Amino acid sequence: MDLALFDFDGTITDRETMPDFMVAAVRPMRLVAGKVLLLPLIVGYKLRIVPGTIIRAAICWFGFKGVPVAELESHAAEFARLVLPSTVRPEALERIAWHKTRGDRVVVVSGGLDLYLKHWTEAHGLELICSSLQERSGIFTGSYLGRQCVRAEKVRRVQALHSMQQFGKVFAYGDTPEDYELLAFADEAYYRWAPWARM
């Protein structure tokens, strides 16, 4: 049995889905205010000056601090059902199906949030390793629970949950520098659906 590790945003999907989730789940007044107050960070991220971890942490804090878990869970379930299917690449589903027919263990390893990813992965019979938000007494604090699942953290979590000795080969699929460590960890890696040239 082999292990297949798939990034989600931009790999399984044709775009980053977290911005779409924010539009669907953040309360309207917060969304408007956030677009203004966080604009410098957003511009910095697009110019590759601000790291993705910083912008995601700021957006989640502003958008979700003090929001009841039940409220966000409801938005996330609807988002996974109505929005995510239209973003998924056919070639990604084909490759996932190929791994499953071989009896491989298929895991989505994403920096995205479990709130919506868990619904999609459960519907497709896949395992999930991803980022989560912290909550206290049924209310989100606005902070991440532990580290965001990107870069070396992806590899650390895979190793923590799986004994590599049980797998004959490790495949990995990614599309951004946040996946480089995961790709380097694999025996066979694909970057933007092309064989990855090791750095």
pLDDT of residue 134: 98
| 197 pLDDT more than 90 | no
The structure's pTM equals 0.95
Tell me which CATH code domain 3-195 carries: 3.40.50.1000
| 170 pLDDT more than 90 | yes
Q: Cα(166)–Cα(141) distance, rounded to whole angstroms?
A: 38
Cβ 57 vs Cβ 144: under 8 Å: yes
Instruction: Give the pLDDT band of residue 11 (cuts 50, 70, 90).
Output: very high
Instruction: Give the pLDDT band of residue 43 (cuts 50, 70, 90).
Output: very high
Backbone angles phi, psi at 113, to 5 degrees: -90, 140
| 162 pLDDT more than 90 | no
- The domain spans of the chain are 3-195
Q: Cα(79)–Cα(56) distance, rounded to whole angstroms?
A: 18
